[in-house]
C-alpha cells in the first residue's frame, strides 16, 4: 500500500516572485539504467505519496510517459495542476534562434501541460552529446562558453516567460564567474539555479552567491548519485553515504545515510531532488524532511564532509583545445575560453 505523507509537514521555500514551493522534489533522470516506464510509474507513486515537485528534462527521454501520469492524476482528482511544481530544461542542441520555443512546445505537448512552472537552460553551452554516450565521447563542434551566445538563448527564455509558457526561469550548471557576467544582462532574472550538491560537494561559495542574489538553489545528485552512468564515475570519487560524518548522524537517528543527505540539504535551505524508482526510498526521502531534524551540531559536523568531489564533471561537453573537465567550471575565477 502506498504510504502517504502529509503535505502540511513538508517545508517550503519562497521564490523571489513570492511563490512558495516545496523544499524537496523528485528527480526523473533514469541514469541510463531505468527506462521511461519505470520512471513514470515512480512519478505516479510519488504523486500518491505526496510529492508535489518534479524535476524533468527533455533529454531524460521520458516526458511523454510522465505527461500521461500527470494527466491521469489530474483526471482522477488525485492532485490539481496548481498544486504541482513541474520543471523542465532545454537541452544543449536547442539553443539557437527559435529552438527554445520549439523545445518548450514539445515539452508542454509531451507533459500534457499548458504551462510549466520553471524552465531551465540545462547547460550553459550548446554542446551536444547523444544520450547514453560514454565518457570519452567528444563533439568536434563543441565551443567554450560565450556571453553573447548564452544571452541570445536567454532572450528566448524571456520570450517564453512573457508568453506564459513558463511561470519562472532557471539556469543550471553555472559558475560564479559566468553568473557575474550574465545576471546584469538579464531582463528577467532566473529565480532558481540547479547545481550539483551533496555533503562531499557542497559548492558553498556558489550556494551563498545565489542566496545573496535571491535565487533559490536546487541540488542535484543529493545522495551522491550512487547509480550514476559510467561516464560520470572516476577514480577518487567518494560515496556520500559512506562518509564518517554522514554515517555518524545516520546512526544517531537510526536512519539510512541517504536520509541524512536529504535532511542536510533541506535544513541548509536548498531543494534536493533525489531520484528513486523504489517506493520505500522515494517515500522515505519525502518523510525524512517532515520529522526528526538534524541537530545544529550535526549540521556543523556535516560541513566537514566537504571533499570537493564533483561527480558530474561534464567532460563530454569539452571543446577542441580544452585541457580537461575543470575548464567547464572556471576554477581560477575567470571564464575559461
Active site residue 60: yes
Active-site choice (51, 60, 209, 282): 60
Residues binding ligand NAP (CB under 6 A): 27-29, 31, 55, 122, 172-173, 194, 220-228, 256, 258-259, 273-278, 281, 284-285, 312
Distance in Å, CB of 249 to ligand NAP, minimum:
14
What is the Cα–Cα distance from 49 to 70, expressed in whole angstroms? 14
Q: Which is nearer to ligand NAP, 73 or 257 (CB)?
A: 257
Q: Which is nearer to ligand NAP, 18 or 238 (CB)?
A: 238
**Residue 59, helix vs strand vs coil:** helix
Query: Which spans in 112-241 are helix H?
Result: 147-162, 176-182, 204-212
Query: Which spans in 35-146 are helix H?
Result: 36-49, 63-76, 99-111
Kind and range of the H or E element at 312?
A: none
Q: Which is nearer to ligand NAP, 120 or 161 (CB)?
A: 120
Beta-bridged to residue 196, according to DSSP, are 220
Distance in Å, CB of 311 to ligand NAP, minimum:
8
Cβ atoms within 10 A of the Cβ of 154, count?
24
**Residue 93, helix vs strand vs coil:** helix
What is the Cα–Cα distance from 216 to 194, expressed in whole angstroms? 9
Distance in Å, CB of 219 to ligand NAP, minimum:
8
Distance in Å, CB of 294 to ligand NAP, minimum:
15
Q: Which is nearer to ligand NAP, 194 or 327 (CB)?
A: 194
Annotated catalytic sites, by residue? 60
Amino acid at each position: 500500500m502506498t504510504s502517504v505523507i502529509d503535505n502540511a509537514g513538508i517545508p517550503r521555500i519562497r521564490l523571489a516572485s513570492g511563490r512558495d514551493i516545496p523544499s524537496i522534489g523528485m528527480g526523473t533522470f533514469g541514469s541510463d539504467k531505468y527506462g521511461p516506464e519505470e520512471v513514470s510509474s515512480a512519478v505516479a507513486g510519488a504523486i500518491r505519496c505526496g510529492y508535489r515537485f518534479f524535476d524533468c528534462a527533455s533529454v531524460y527521454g521520458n516526458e511523454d510517459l510522465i505527461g500521461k501520469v500527470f494527466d491521469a492524476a489530474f483526471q482522477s482528482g488525485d492532485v490539481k495542476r496548481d498544486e504541482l511544481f513541474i520543471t523542465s530544461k532545454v537541452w544543449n542542441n536547442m539553443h539557437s534562434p527559435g529552438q527554445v520555443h520549439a523545445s518548450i512546445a514539445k515539452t508542454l505537448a509531451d507533459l500534457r501541460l499548458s504551462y510549466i512552472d520553471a524552465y531551465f537552460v540545462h547547460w550553459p553551452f550548446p554542446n551536444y552529446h547523444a544520450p547514453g554516450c560514454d565518457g570519452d565521447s567528444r563533439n568536434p563542434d563543441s565551443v567554450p562558453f560565450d556571453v553573447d551566445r548564452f544571452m541570445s538563448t536567454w532572450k528566448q527564455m524571456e520570450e517564453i516567460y512573457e508568453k506564459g509558457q513558463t511561470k519562472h526561469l532557471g539556469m543550471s550548471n553555472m559558475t560564479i564567474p559566468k553568473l557575474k557576467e550574465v545576471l546584469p544582462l538579464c531582463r528577467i532574472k532566473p529565480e532558481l539555479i540547479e547545481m550539483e550538491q551533496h555533503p562531499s560537494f557542497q559548492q558553498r561559495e556558489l550556494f551563498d552567491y545565489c542566496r545573496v542574489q535571491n535565487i533559490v538553489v536546487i541540488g542535484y545528485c543529493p545522495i551522491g548519485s550512487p547509480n550514476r552512468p559510467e561516464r560520470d564515475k572516476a577514480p577518487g570519487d567518494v560515496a556520500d553515504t559512506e562518509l564518517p560524518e554522514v554515517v555518524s548522524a545516520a546512526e544517531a537517528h537510526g536512519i539510512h545515510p541517504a536520509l541524512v543527505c536529504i535532511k542536510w540539504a533541506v535544513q541548509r535551505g536548498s531543494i534536493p531532488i533525489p531520484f528513486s524508482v523504489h517506493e520505500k526510498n522515494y517515500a522515505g526521502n519525502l518523510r525524512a524532511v517532515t520529522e526528526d531534524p538534524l541537530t545544529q551540531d550535526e549540521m556543523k559536523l556535516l560541513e566537514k564532509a566537504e571533499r570537493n568531489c564533483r561527480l558530474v564533471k561534464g567532460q563530454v561537453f569539452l571543446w577542441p583545445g580544452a585541457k580537461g573537465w575543470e575548464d567547464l567550471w572556471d576554477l581560477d575565477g575567470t571564464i575559461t575560453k
